[in-house]
């Protein structure tokens, strides 16, 4: 690591910040996006229709993910909701999830009055600890819903083996993991279905947007009907019989046009993140008390939606993480403390105590739920995690040197910072 950033007083104590330059802005866009949006605008066909941009995007995304079919949806939340609904997951069903994820993962389960069951996190990878899944399975378990968190990949070998043995459906929440791979194959293509988000912060972005990919074409047709207010694709123009539940969760042509344009940038951007992340890991790995998230051996590509590491304050003179985050921000290298434990959110208490849940599951079972859904490893991880966002990985190697340099500088002056 170059000495430059390390020497000097921390910015929080009056020194010059390691960095004053901005990190790359997001999203990246030029005349390509303007042109595709204009085309949709001029066509007057703004909603999805056969042979238009949404269809083209679905075909391109399925090809990219290596699946037989893809359905675009309004967002990642509706991709998950549509999949669960099409599979008939509802009251009485249990769905196994990690506690280290975005709240949408469980909101879609709660929306269908199913019961999320949390399995603790693997502290080294920040992913669901697959060795603890089997003991969480009950006769009510219907779905395993691993999340490939931060662009990293959950232990798919272990998860698929358990699912196979216990006859359970796997839905991959791949909302943060576009282009991530396991054994050389894209994530999202391993389970019965994989769900993606194209929300503004995600590595592929159309402001809002989502997709379901699957090799089960019949399932994608069920999903189509659900997301199209109960009307299937094969229904003729005059057949208005509705055969199942549904909502309107369609993507617009504008979003699909944006996605097609943004997709042409995705590979290069991903490679850049990977290269920069590797450099950053090499530098941060030398700093005592900093432990970058590891990947499992069969993760052959990490999409680095987030760059995640653990911060051990004992190696920083007891400097609390909150103060470390402040000091980093002052150096011009913003980072966050990431998620708080999802299984402890008041949301769960309120929903599980609601009339509907009490009626479906009974007071005794729901009381026991809180005991059974403790995740001590995840609780500890939530205290020590630190994240950089994906856009910070889109610049140059010198950016990585400054990011690691800021950490090293803070460590060198940790005792003073802890006092101040
Ligand atoms: C972003 C995200 C979602 C939801 O996607 P939206 O497009 O925001 O609805 C679901 N799960 C995870 C893990 C996410 O990161």
**Separation of CA 210 and ligand 1 centre (Å):** 9
Tell me if 99 CB under 6 Å of ligand 1.
no
Q: Ligand 1 pocket test: which of 105, 145, 200 has the largest number of ligand atoms within 8 Å of its C-beta?
A: 105
**Separation of CA 162 and ligand 1 centre (Å):** 25
Q: Please, what is the average pLDDT of the chain?
A: 96
Tell me if 176 CB under 6 Å of ligand 1.
yes
The answer to whether residue 386 scores a pLDDT higher than 90 is yes
Structural contact between residues 95 and 142, judged by C-beta atoms closer than 8 angstroms: yes
Position in ligand 1 atom list of the atom nearest CA 202: 1
Question: How high is the pLDDT of residue 3?
Answer: 62
Percent of the chain with pLDDT over 90: 95
The pairs formed by 45-49 with CB atoms below 8 angstroms and a separation of 24 or more are: 45/253, 46/252, 46/253, 46/254, 47/250, 47/252, 47/253, 48/72, 48/250, 48/251, 48/252, 48/253, 48/256, 49/253
Question: How high is the pLDDT of residue 1?
Answer: 62
Sheet hosting strand 185-186, strand order edge to edge: 185-186, 181-182, 299-301
Structure tokens at 59: 């075909």
Cα distance between residue 1 and residue 404, in whole Å: 8
Q: Whose CA is nearest to atom 7 of ligand 1?
A: 76
What does the pLDDT average to over 301-323? Answer: 98
Place of tokens 């694709």: 233
**Separation of CA 338 and ligand 1 centre (Å):** 15
Tell me if 105 CB under 6 Å of ligand 1.
yes
Tell me if 76 CB under 6 Å of ligand 1.
yes
Angle at 404 between CA 274 and CA 416, to 5 degrees: 155
Position in ligand 1 atom list of the atom nearest CA 75: 7
- Which residue in 149, 98, 92 sits closest to 115, CA to CA? 92
Tell me if 197 CB under 6 Å of ligand 1.
yes
- Give one DSSP letter per residue of 196-226, joined into a string: EE--TTSSS-SSS-EEEEES-HHHHHHHHHH
Band of the pLDDT at 303, cuts 50, 70, 90?
very high
Structural contact between residues 52 and 253, judged by C-beta atoms closer than 8 angstroms: yes
Chain segment 249-276, per-residue pLDDT in tens: 999 999 999 999 999 999 999 999 999 9
SS3 category, 42: helix
Query: Which string of b and e fits 91-102 if b means at least 16 CB within 10 Å?
Result: eebbbbbbbbbb
Q: Whose CA is nearest to atom 2 of ligand 1?
A: 175
The answer to whether residue 237 scores a pLDDT higher than 70 is no
Cα distance between residue 144 and residue 132, in whole Å: 12
Question: How high is the pLDDT of residue 336?
Answer: 98
Place of tokens 């967002």: 75
The answer to whether residue 290 scores a pLDDT higher than 90 is yes
Of 7-16, 260-269, 286-295, 383-392, the range with the lowest mean pLDDT is 7-16
Question: How high is the pLDDT of residue 242?
Answer: 86
What does the pLDDT average to over 176-201? Answer: 98
Angle at 397 between CA 301 and CA 266, to 5 degrees: 40
Position in ligand 1 atom list of the atom nearest CA 104: 10
- Give one DSSP letter per residue of 334-378, joined into a string: --B--PPPGGG-HHHHHHHTSHHHHHHH-HHHHHHHHHHT--HHH
Question: How high is the pLDDT of residue 2?
Answer: 60
Band of the pLDDT at 5, cuts 50, 70, 90?
confident
Domains of the chain by residue range: 31-262
Tell me if 104 CB under 6 Å of ligand 1.
yes
pTM for the model stands at 0.97
Question: What CATH code is assigned to 31-262?
Answer: 3.40.640.10
The answer to whether residue 228 scores a pLDDT higher than 60 is yes
Whole-number Cα distances in Å, 67 to 63, 174, 190, 213: 6, 14, 9, 6
The answer to whether residue 235 scores a pLDDT higher than 60 is no
- Give one DSSP letter per residue of 377-402, joined into a string: HHHHHHHHEEEEEGGGGSS-HHHHHH
Tell me if 175 CB under 6 Å of ligand 1.
yes
Residue 320's Cα: distance from chain center in Å?
27
**Separation of CA 79 and ligand 1 centre (Å):** 9
């Amino acid at each position: 690591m170059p000495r430059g950033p390390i020497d000097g007083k921390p910015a929080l104590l009056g020194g010059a910040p390691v960095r004053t330059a901005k990190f790359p802005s997001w999203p990246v866009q030029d005349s390509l996006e303007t042109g595709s949006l204009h085309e949709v605008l001029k066509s007057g066909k703004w909603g999805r229709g056969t042979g238009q941009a949404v269809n083209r995007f679905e075909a391109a995304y399925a090809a990219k993910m290596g699946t037989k079919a893809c359905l675009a949806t309004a967002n990642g939340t509706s991709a998950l909701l549509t999949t669960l609904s099409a599979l008939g997951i509802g009251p009485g069903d249990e769905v196994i999830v990690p506690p280290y994820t975005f709240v949408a993962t469980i909101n879609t389960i709660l929306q269908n009055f199913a019961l999320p069951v949390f399995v603790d996190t693997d502290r080294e990878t920040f992913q669901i600890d697959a060795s603890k899944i089997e003991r969480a399975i009950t006769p009510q378990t219907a779905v395993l819903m691993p999340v490939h968190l931060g662009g990293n990949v959950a232990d798919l070998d272990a998860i698929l083996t358990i699912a196979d043995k216990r006859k359970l459906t796997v839905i991959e929440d791949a909302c943060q993991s576009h282009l991530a791979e396991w054994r050389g194959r894209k994530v999202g293509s391993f389970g019965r279905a994989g769900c993606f988000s194209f929300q503004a912060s995600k590595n592929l972005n159309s402001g809002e947007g989502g997709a379901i990919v699957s090799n089960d074409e019949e399932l994608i047709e069920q999903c189509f009907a659900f997301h199209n207010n109960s009307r299937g694709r094969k229904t003729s123009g005059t057949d208005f019989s509705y055969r199942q539940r549904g909502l309107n969760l369609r993507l617009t042509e504008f979003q699909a046009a944006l996605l097609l344009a943004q997709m042409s940038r995705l590979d290069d951007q991903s490679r850049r993140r990977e290269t920069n992340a590797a450099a950053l890991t090499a530098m941060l790995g030398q700093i005592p008390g900093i432990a970058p998230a590891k990947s499992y051996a069969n993760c052959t590509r990490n999409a680095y939606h987030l760059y995640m590491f653990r911060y051990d304050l004992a190696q920083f003179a007891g400097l609390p993480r909150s103060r470390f985050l402040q000091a980093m921000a002052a150096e011009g290298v913003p980072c966050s403390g990431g998620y708080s434990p999802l299984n402890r959110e008041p949301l769960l208490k309120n929903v599980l105590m609601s009339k509907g849940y009490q009626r479906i599951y009974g007071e005794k079972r729901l009381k026991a739920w809180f005991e059974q859904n403790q995740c001590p490893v995840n609780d500890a991880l939530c205290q020590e995690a630190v994240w950089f966002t994906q856009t910070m990985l889109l610049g140059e190697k010198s950016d990585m040197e400054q990011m690691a340099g800021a950490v090293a500088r803070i460590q060198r002056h940790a005792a003073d910072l802890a006092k101040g």
